């Protein structure tokens, strides 16, 4: 369960402050699928990053499973990310000097898993890249890189998977493939899936669509029945 | 959008500034080192030239190693008619003993070797004697009465009072005479500030010296007659005249123009060698310049590609960046020169505290920079500019490899990654394209650096040797770095994530490992070599002292005192088997029938080292001995030793190997020796090899017994005693034989070690500039990889890595880097030290674990510190802002 209250994010630079998020409050129950949509600059990606603890908000609170993360010490925050969050970036962000399988193994190794490489190989098999495990990111196509990134994000089986425009840099076929992967993980493991997108078609496959405009929630449509939509909170 | 544009523009400038700053600092540190050293050396040398007269004590100096003859004295006295002032100073080594009085408790040390100087009232002719109290020297040295006894005044260096626990007003006994300490000697214009001295100075009057009765036949004394000629008179005609008229006295006559040739040569060489150490700092900095330009070019790849599509030729583009390089190098050089000149203000104080020498004070050294040293500054700036150009040649040529097609790729980031990961993307020409132009560029760079070294060293041999050594070191460091990188790459990946990341950072393409290793390794090589050499020399001289090395040398023993001295030593220490060796001072009169000119023109010191050595052997004063049997530590390599117990009909002489080589003597040659007025001809009967380091009295020339009967010889006795016997023996000797001087080998060695320490400190201080350069180069290299490190560390963080893990990973990387650079640098330092010891000092090399351990530890400390300072800010970065801006 993710609870967000009065979340404010301001960026300063160039002599004035820019308010990216101005007072967001929402709750996302476990196992929900959520799309965050909105025009560029509306604060979608920032919201997603704050949920992952990748930055600290200017004000407000974010609780994950009842634990406040906005004032967590850095080391604890790192552990929290390791255990609770998987993150897929628009531009993949694989580590260029590591092979595909090594990239997937990193979160497992960070958690001290003994057979990290073996499990990473299994994960690569699962995303259909078993034969590319020794390849470096630059030797992979964009779609393949994003599949590696999905495998990496899901390596520790986090209860929450966040994806920031996961198909934004991919052609439609590869985008579909990655999307199927994400939904399959939700379906099979019951993962909460929150994705930022500006593709209506993609958003329509989610159980809930939160639309942001100028740093505020413009609409929150929970009535839609996406595939495998969960029961809504009362 | 405006905000973003200006932000981006600011970011670009800031990123650029980081490069520019390192570029500037790299050049500035090197030029700073060079300018500091050369300006200081030039200033000191000029001051010495300006103060030459007071340093020598006169316009002309006549120097003898025995009292002057009656005729000689008449010659000098006759000079007064021509308006020439002459003053007589005698310098000798003597013993000063504490004269115990009622108010003076018995001090622990009762006697001390001193450097005694007796002067006349007219002294000094030039310059000032610094005294405390500030009263006329003559008054302080005048005869007086000390209680019931008569005595003379003496001014002494403060160190003597400290050693003997005396205060001004108390008394010293020197020879037969009592001296009251009437003042402290603060500054003596014509005492060459010797780093090496046997004891503190005591200055007395000539009357006092006569009363002490120290000058006996054959005594070791330096008689100096200093002259002031009337203004407007020519110096050189008088020098030549005196050389002729004082020929019989074997006097050395020199003018202040050629005064201090050794000091000048020493300072000149020291300046040049320290300059080369400074040049090393500049060349180390050059690596930083290359790294910086390389990184800068990589960032500007898109710009360059765009310019190429717009029709700019490679030459035009290189021209643009070369101009930028020149401007930066000029700024850096000026900055370095400013630092070097600024340091001049603090140098005298620094040198004084660090080396505790009063030379600077003695010559009234001021920190003013004058026009002639500005030339030195300009030279430093030009060296900085040229070094920068030579080091940027290679990276600038990479412009040729960039193809315009780059900009057709939308994803520049991917291309950058591709490049870093080292996979051929087809955008950039092959990395190892060693075509004609790059080979030519490399050759030009190597030759250019070699010529710069020759220019700085002022000698083809030294400069080329230096350049070749440097080139070899760089090639070895480069090779080792490459081997290490490929080893790390092939190694099975370690399980520990931080360690694996660290190793990955070391071997990935574009990792800068090579540059850092060459820079740090070379800097370490210089400093470690100095340490190893210092250790080896000290060890050779001090630690490796043979067990049977004597504790004392007793010199100036008169023939009639020989038995007495030996039996005193025996009584005091119980030592048997004592012997005293006769010795007599002489000069060569002729070699193989060729007369030796008593006075070689000291001003015209030949440039050729062999020629100088030959001159030295020809004109030096020889201490001769005669012996029945071949002395210990001597080995006959040619000829035969004279049979024992037999006095040969004709005097025979045995010559030391090196001396024989330079004097061109062989068995059967004849030499004539001038011994205090008498000439002895002797036939060379053997050539000996001498073990000089064995701490016994060794001789270049040994005569057969009976050759010099009647000559005024003195004896030298050696004694090996237990530490607790040292002081009593010295006391007893001073009491019984006041004219005999006891020289403690321990004190001499301490003095030698201290001198070596100071020398090593000076070199190390300059070498520190290369370490600084090395650190800056590493900072520059890390800055070149800064963006990549930032990116990776935030990706790791996003995946849940803690700051601690990133810190461990960085720390392992920097420690490994330091360890590798340190190991290679130390291997090279040991090889270099071995070569220097073997070929220059003819000593054996040995392993010094302390030096190696300490150097290694400080290198790792340095790389850790520099790495930490360069990257710690990355650790605190929050991931989102960085990843959003990708």
Question: Per-residue pLDDT tens for B303-333?
Answer: 777 667 666 777 777 877 788 788 888 989 9
Give the best residue of A54, A77, A94, A144 to mutate against chain B (max B CB count within 10 A). A54
Indicate the range of A56-65, B4-13, B468-477, B770-779 predicted with least confidence. Answer: B4-13
Distance from CA of B4 to the nearest CA of A (A): 8
pLDDT in tens, B26-75: 899 999 988 888 888 888 777 777 777 887 888 898 988 888 888 999 99
ipTM over 0.95: no
Do B878 and A97 make contact, defined as CB atoms within 8 angstroms?
no
Q: What is the pLDDT of residue B511?
A: 74
Q: In the predicted model, is pLDDT for residue B81 greater than 60? A: yes
Contacts of B2 in chain A (CB under 8 A): 14
Distance from CA of B793 to the nearest CA of A (A): 10
Query: Stretch B443-461: mean pLDDT, rounded?
Result: 85
Q: Identify the band that residue B724 occupies on the pLDDT scale cut at 50, 70 and 90.
A: confident
Scan residues 405-444 of B and list those with Cβ closer than 8 Å to A.
413-414, 417-418, 420-421, 423, 425
Q: Taking CA B852 as the corner, what is the angle to CA B849 and CA B855, rounded to the nearest 5 degrees?
A: 145
Q: In the predicted model, is pLDDT for residue B580 greater than 90? A: no
Q: In the predicted model, is pLDDT for residue B660 greater than 70? A: yes
Question: Which residues make beta-bridge pairs with B591?
Answer: B594, B671
Do B798 and A96 make contact, defined as CB atoms within 8 angstroms?
no
B356 touches chain A (CB under 8 A): no
Q: What is the pLDDT of residue B608?
A: 67
Contacts of B505 in chain A (CB under 8 A): 97
Q: What is the pLDDT of residue B6?
A: 43
Distance from CA of A96 to the nearest CA of B (A): 6
Partner residue opposite A13 with nearest CB, options B7, B800, B883: B7
Per the model's pLDDT, the better-predicted residue between B104 and B565 turns out to be: B565
Q: In the predicted model, is pLDDT for residue B388 greater than 70? A: yes
Q: What is the pLDDT of residue B605?
A: 53
Q: What is the pLDDT of residue B105?
A: 55
| Cα B224 to chain centroid, rounded | 30
The answer to whether B117 and B90 have CB atoms below 8 angstroms apart is yes
Q: What is the pLDDT of residue B431?
A: 41
Do B881 and A55 make contact, defined as CB atoms within 8 angstroms?
yes
Question: Which residues make beta-bridge pairs with B115?
Answer: B93, B201
Per the model's pLDDT, the better-predicted residue between B41 and B238 turns out to be: B238
Partner residue opposite B803 with nearest CB, options A74, A87, A156: A74
φ, ψ of residue B675 in degrees (nearest 5): -115, 100
Question: Three-state DSSP class for B393?
Answer: helix
Q: In the predicted model, is pLDDT for residue B414 greater than 60? A: no
Burial class of residue B560 in the structure, from the number of CB atoms within 10 Å of its CB (0-12 exposed, 13-18 middle, 19+ buried): exposed
The CA radius of gyration of chain A, in Å to the nearest whole number, is 17
Q: How close are the terminal C-alpha atoms of chain A, in Å?
A: 14
Distance, CA of B777 to CA of B283 (rounded, Å): 11
Q: In the predicted model, is pLDDT for residue B496 greater than 90? A: no
Do A136 and B421 make contact, defined as CB atoms within 8 angstroms?
yes
Partner residue opposite B497 with nearest CB, options A55, A110, A137: A110
Q: What is the pLDDT of residue A59?
A: 93
The answer to whether B663 and B701 have CB atoms below 8 angstroms apart is no
Q: What is the pLDDT of residue A62?
A: 95
Indicate the range of B55-59, B384-388, B401-405, B533-537 predicted with least confidence. Answer: B401-405
| Cα B514 to chain centroid, rounded | 31
Contacts of A110 in chain B (CB under 8 A): 497, 796, 799-801, 805
Question: Three-state DSSP class for B756?
Answer: helix
Indicate the range of A196-210, B249-263, B550-564 predicted with least confidence. Answer: B249-263
Whole-structure pTM value: 0.73
Indicate the range of A103-112, B254-263, B470-479, B754-763 predicted with least confidence. Answer: B254-263
Q: What is the pLDDT of residue B352?
A: 66
Q: Identify the band that residue B109 occupies on the pLDDT scale cut at 50, 70 and 90.
A: low
List per-residue pLDDT tens for chain A, 234 residues long.
999 999 999 887 667 888 889 999 999 999 999 999 998 888 888 899 899 888 889 999 999 999 999 988 877 888 888 889 998 988 888 887 788 998 898 888 888 888 888 999 999 998 889 899 888 888 898 889 999 999 999 898 999 999 998 988 888 888 888 899 899 989 998 999 999 998 888 898 899 999 999 899 999 888 655 444 444 443
Average pLDDT value over all residues in chain B: 81
Distance from CA of B516 to the nearest CA of A (A): 20
β pairing state of B678-690 and B634-639: antiparallel
Highest mean pLDDT among B119-133, B260-274, B309-323, B365-379: B119-133
Do B795 and A81 make contact, defined as CB atoms within 8 angstroms?
no
Q: Identify the band that residue B181 occupies on the pLDDT scale cut at 50, 70 and 90.
A: very high
A73 touches chain B (CB under 8 A): no
A37 touches chain B (CB under 8 A): no
Partner residue opposite B801 with nearest CB, options A46, A91, A110: A110
Distance, CA of B777 to CA of B368 (rounded, Å): 33
Distance, CA of B3 to CA of B825 (rounded, Å): 49
Partner residue opposite A139 with nearest CB, options B423, B497, B505: B423
Element (H, E) at B277: helix B261-299
Burial class of residue B810 in the structure, from the number of CB atoms within 10 Å of its CB (0-12 exposed, 13-18 middle, 19+ buried): buried
Q: In the predicted model, is pLDDT for residue B225 greater than 90? A: yes
Partner residue opposite A78 with nearest CB, options B425, B795, B800: B800
Q: What is the pLDDT of residue A211?
A: 93
In percent, the amount of chain B with pLDDT more than 70 equals: 86
Give the best residue of B807, B875, B880, B886 to mutate against chain A (max A CB count within 10 A). B880
The answer to whether B253 and B61 have CB atoms below 8 angstroms apart is yes
CB pairs under 8 A between A and B: 98
Do A107 and B417 make contact, defined as CB atoms within 8 angstroms?
no
Do A95 and B792 make contact, defined as CB atoms within 8 angstroms?
yes
pLDDT in tens, B596-649: 865 555 445 556 667 777 887 887 888 888 888 888 888 888 888 888 777 778
B799 touches chain A (CB under 8 A): yes
Q: Identify the band that residue B88 occupies on the pLDDT scale cut at 50, 70 and 90.
A: very high
pLDDT in tens, B730-759: 888 888 888 888 888 888 888 778 777 877
Distance, CA of B494 to CA of B506 (rounded, Å): 14
Q: What is the pLDDT of residue A210?
A: 94
Distance, CA of B823 to CA of B812 (rounded, Å): 16
Question: What are the start-end ranges of the H helices in B165-260?
Answer: 206-212, 236-245
């Amino acid at each position: 369960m993710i609870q967000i209250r009065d979340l404010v994010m301001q960026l300063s630079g160039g002599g004035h402050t820019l308010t990216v998020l101005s007072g967001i409050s929402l709750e996302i129950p476990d196992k929900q699928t959520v799309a965050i949509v909105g025009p560029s600059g509306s604060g979608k990606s920032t919201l997603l990053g704050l949920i992952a603890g990748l930055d600290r908000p200017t004000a407000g609170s974010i609780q994950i499973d009842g634990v406040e993360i906005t004032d967590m010490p850095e080391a604890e925050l790192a552990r929290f990310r390791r255990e609770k969050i998987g993150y897929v970036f628009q531009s993949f962000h694989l580590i260029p000097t590591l092979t595909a399988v090594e990239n997937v193994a990193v979160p497992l190794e960070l958690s001290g898993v003994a057979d990290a490489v073996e499990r990473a190989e299994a994960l690569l098999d699962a995303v259909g890249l078993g034969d590319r495990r020794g390849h470096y990111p630059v030797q992979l196509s964009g779609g393949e890189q994003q599949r590696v990134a999905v495998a990496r994000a899901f390596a520790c089986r986090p209860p929450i998977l966040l994806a920031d425009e996961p198909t934004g840099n991919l052609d439609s076929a590869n985008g579909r493939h990655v999307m199927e992967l994400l939904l399959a993980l939700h379906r099979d493991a019951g993962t909460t899936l929150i994705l930022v997108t500006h593709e209506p078609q993609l958003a329509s496959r989610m159980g809930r669509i939160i639309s942001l405009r100028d740093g505020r929630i413009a609409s929150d449509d929970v009535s839609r029945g996406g595939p495998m939509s969960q029961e809504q909170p009362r | 959008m405006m905000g973003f544009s200006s932000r981006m523009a600011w970011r670009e400038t800031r990123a650029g500034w980081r490069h520019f700053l390192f570029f500037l600092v790299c050049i500035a540190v090197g030029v700073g080192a060079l300018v500091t050293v050369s300006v200081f050396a030039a200033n000191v040398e000029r001051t010495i030239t300006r103060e030459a007269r007071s340093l020598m004590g006169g316009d002309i100096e006549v120097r003898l190693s025995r009292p002057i003859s009656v005729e000689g004295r008449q010659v000098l006295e006759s000079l007064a008619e021509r308006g020439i002032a002459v003053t007589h100073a005698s310098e000798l080594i003597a013993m000063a003993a504490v004269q115990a009085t009622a108010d003076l408790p018995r001090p622990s040390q009762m006697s001390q070797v001193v450097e005694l100087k007796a002067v006349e009232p007219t002294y000094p002719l030039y310059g000032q004697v610094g005294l405390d109290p500030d009263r006329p020297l003559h008054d302080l040295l005048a005869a007086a009465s000390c209680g019931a006894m008569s005595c003379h005044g003496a001014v002494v260096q403060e160190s003597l009072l400290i050693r003997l626990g005396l205060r001004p007003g108390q008394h010293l006994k020197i020879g037969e005479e009592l001296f009251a300490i009437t003042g402290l000697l603060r500054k003596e214009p014509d005492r060459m500030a010797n780093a090496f001295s046997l004891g503190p100075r005591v200055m007395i009057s000539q009357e006092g010296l006569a009363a002490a009765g120290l000058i006996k036949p054959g005594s070791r004394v330096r008689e100096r007659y200093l002259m002031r000629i009337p203004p407007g008179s020519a110096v050189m005609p008088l020098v030549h005249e005196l050389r002729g008229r004082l020929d019989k006295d074997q006097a050395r006559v020199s003018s202040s123009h050629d005064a201090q040739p050794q000091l000048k040569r020493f300072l000149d060489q020291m300046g040049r060698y320290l300059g080369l150490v400074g040049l090393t700092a500049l060349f180390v900095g050059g690596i930083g310049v290359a790294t910086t330009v390389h990184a800068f070019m990589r960032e500007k790849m898109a710009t360059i590609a765009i310019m190429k599509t717009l029709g700019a030729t490679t030459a035009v583009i290189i021209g643009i960046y070369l101009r930028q390089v020149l401007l930066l190098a000029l700024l850096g050089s000026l900055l370095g020169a400013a630092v070097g000149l600024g340091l001049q203000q603090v140098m005298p104080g620094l040198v004084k505290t660090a080396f505790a020498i009063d030379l600077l004070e003695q010559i009234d050294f001021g920190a003013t920079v004058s026009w002639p040293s500005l030339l030195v500054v300009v030279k430093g700036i030009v060296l900085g500019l040229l070094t920068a150009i030579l080091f940027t040649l290679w990276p600038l040529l990479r412009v040729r490899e960039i193809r315009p097609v780059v900009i057709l790729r939308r994803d520049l980031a991917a291309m950058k990654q591709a490049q870093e990961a080292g996979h051929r993307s087809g955008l950039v020409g092959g990395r190892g394209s060693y075509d004609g132009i790059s080979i030519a560029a490399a050759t030009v760079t190597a030759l250019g650096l070699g010529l710069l070294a020759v220019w700085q060293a002022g000698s083809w041999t030294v400069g080329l040797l230096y350049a070749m050594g440097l080139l070899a070191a760089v090639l070895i460091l480069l090779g080792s770095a490459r081997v290490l990188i490929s080893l790390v790459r092939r190694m099975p990946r370690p399980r520990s994530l931080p360690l694996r990341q660290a190793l990955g950072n070391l071997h990935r393409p574009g990792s800068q490992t090579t540059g850092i290793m060459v820079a740090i390794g070379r800097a370490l090589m210089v400093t470690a070599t100095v340490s190893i050499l210092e250790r080896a020399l000290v060890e050779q001289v001090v630690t490796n002292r043979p067990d049977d090395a004597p504790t004392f040398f007793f010199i100036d023993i008169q023939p009639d005192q020989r038995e007495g001295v030996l039996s005193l030593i025996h009584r005091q220490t119980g030592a048997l088997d004592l012997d005293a060796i006769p010795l007599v001072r002489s000069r060569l009169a002729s070699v193989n029938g060729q007369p030796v000119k008593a006075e070689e023109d000291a001003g015209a010191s030949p440039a050729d080292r062999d020629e100088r050595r030959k001159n030295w052997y020809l004109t030096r004063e020889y201490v001769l001995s005669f012996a029945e049997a071949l002395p210990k530590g001597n080995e006959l390599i040619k000829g035969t030793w004279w049979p024992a117990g037999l006095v040969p009909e004709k005097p025979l002489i045995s010559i030391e190997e090196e001396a024989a080589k330079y004097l061109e003597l062989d068995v059967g040659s004849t030499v004539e020796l001038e011994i205090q007025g008498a000439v002895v001809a002797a036939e060379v009967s053997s050539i000996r090899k001498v073990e000089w380091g064995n701490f016994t009295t060794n001789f270049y020339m040994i005569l057969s017994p009976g050759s010099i009967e009647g000559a005024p010889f003195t004896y030298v006795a050696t004694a090996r005693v237990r530490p607790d016997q040292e002081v009593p023996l010295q006391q007893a000797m001073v009491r019984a034989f006041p004219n005999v001087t006891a020289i403690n080998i321990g004190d001499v060695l301490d003095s030698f070690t201290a001198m070596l320490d100071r020398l090593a400190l000076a070199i190390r201080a300059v070498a520190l500039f290369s370490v600084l350069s090395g650190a800056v180069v590493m900072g520059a290299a890390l800055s070149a990889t800064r963006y990549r490190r930032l990116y990776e560390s935030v990706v790791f963080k996003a995946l849940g890595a803690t700051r601690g893990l990133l810190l461990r990973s960085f720390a392992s990387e920097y420690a490994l880097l330091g360890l590798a650079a340190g190991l290679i640098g130390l291997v090279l330092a040991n090889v270099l030290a071995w070569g220097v010891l073997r070929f220059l000092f003819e000593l054996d090399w040995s392993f010094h674990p302390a030096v190696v351990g300490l150097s290694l530890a400080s290198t790792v400390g340095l790389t850790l510190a520099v790495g930490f300072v360069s990257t710690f800010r990355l650790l605190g970065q929050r991931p989102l802002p960085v990843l959003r801006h990708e």
